[in-house]
Structure 1
């Protein structure tokens, strides 16, 4: 795939993200405006729950989805608070819920607890809304644990499995992507994949799309099955489309 074709495809798969602590209404307006590019819209914007209504207003009349995060970023163990957060986000118009699994509990062997949270949140997110589960692979670290978490989330009904919050030292890596894509391929289920955090260049995007193609074929990566969780990469993608030197973007 030549560079401009790759860049345009990556734009269409992007969950353009602002999960900064200093985010405000003006930042959400700017984010939503950036999501509508000359080369096509991004798949979604991803914002804090209290900005869902604002994002929906800004994106009225477009096909751009509004995603939000719950149990974020620490993957806590308060199931009822997470369910309340999910219900409020959906009421405000969220199209997609990105749930951080209680990864520390999973890591130390309390896998049934983590599974219960995914199952209960899945019940609370009716179609056509999507549930993405964030495994926080950089904290799980061990390949066998990452695979077990991916299998658990898939079996519990996740629409997507996502690498990371973007809030820890190690976020998306090709190694974690290989493990997760293999889990999806072997499950036989229509589950999507979302690398998040640290996707900043066209080369990064190409790396993850190549991994997806290896397991699922070159036509699999559509917005229904594949997303990038990022904000900084958009500048690099736009620069490529404009024939400029693409620099690595800042941010998530």
Structure 2
């Protein structure tokens, strides 16, 4: 168990790597503006906000010039949207100010024995994204088996993914250290720089610290930084700020 100083160090590292997220079905433009306000904390800005495509321009207007990146989602959450529609949505999001595209791979096709569809979907989204980064969401909680997670990660890397992301946050099992370890092992062997984004279920400073420690173990102590490591969460920000302020964290409810 980390001591208080170690937790504060982990909280500062995690906050700088946080993708502060609102992908609630009933999210409004006002909710996004409030999210953007939260992104600029007394302890520094988070790495990015992640919002629905329809709110990219709202987030860009709120955060322009702040250095906080704008992420959005496509083929979300099922991974089986029409590829042409996904490419069009990706292009539109980038035009409206998205820096990063979090796409769900066609994991159901992988489960049905069509692995080539994963690589082609990532590659086409990569093409549509232009200069924006692409995070491939594997939905590891549905894939379940470590070898399937490894295969999905390798296929996404082959397609040109800039990040591997565990989950949508919309299924019963989301990020787990076990899945993250498999993904980091693939990242360590990749032929181009690839980042990791555990998402969903990261609720406490201890949760965040565990993922940072895993990155330190597998990739080296200087690896986990915003360019290659993100935590996809919303509720964890409250816990991180409490740790940095030397306060007891409030109880954390369910959610992304």
Same fold? TM cut 0.5: yes
TM-score range normalised by the length of the shorter chain: over 0.9
CA–CA distance in 1 between the matches of 2:251 and 2:83?
Answer: 38
Q: Which residue of 1 aligns with 2:68?
A: 64
Q: Which residue of 2 aligns with 1:202?
A: 205
1:115-154 equivalences under 5 Å are 115-127=119-131, 129-154=132-157
Q: Which residue of 1 aligns with 2:38?
A: 34
1:92 aligns with 2:96: yes
| 4+ residue runs over 6 A deviation | none
- TM-score normalised to structure 2 length: 0.96
> Given that residues 101 and 135 in structure 1 are in contact (C-alpha distance below 8 angstroms), is that contact kept between their aligned partners in structure 2?
yes
Q: Which residue of 2 aligns with 1:9?
A: 13
CA–CA distance in 2 between the matches of 1:109 and 1:247?
Answer: 45
Structure 1: runs of 5 or more not aligned: none
Deviation track 1:153-207 (CA, whole Å, cap 9, x = no partner) reads 1111100000000000100001100100011112243100000000000110011
Q: Which moved more, 1:160-169 or 1:85-94?
A: 85-94
Structure 2: runs of 5 or more not aligned: none
Q: Which residue of 2 aligns with 1:236?
A: 239
> Given that residues 232 and 248 in structure 1 are in contact (C-alpha distance below 8 angstroms), is that contact kept between their aligned partners in structure 2?
no
Q: Which residue of 2 aligns with 1:78?
A: 82
- TM-score normalised to structure 1 length: 0.97
Q: Which residue of 1 aligns with 2:113?
A: 109
> Given that residues 102 and 137 in structure 2 are in contact (C-alpha distance below 8 angstroms), is that contact kept between their aligned partners in structure 1?
yes
Cα RMSD after superposing both structures: 1.1
Q: Which residue of 2 aligns with 1:183?
A: 186
Match among 146, 151, 174 for residue 171 of structure 1: 174
Residue-pair matches, total: 251
CA–CA distance in 2 between the matches of 1:216 and 1:56?
Answer: 33
CA–CA distance in 2 between the matches of 1:241 and 1:212?
Answer: 21
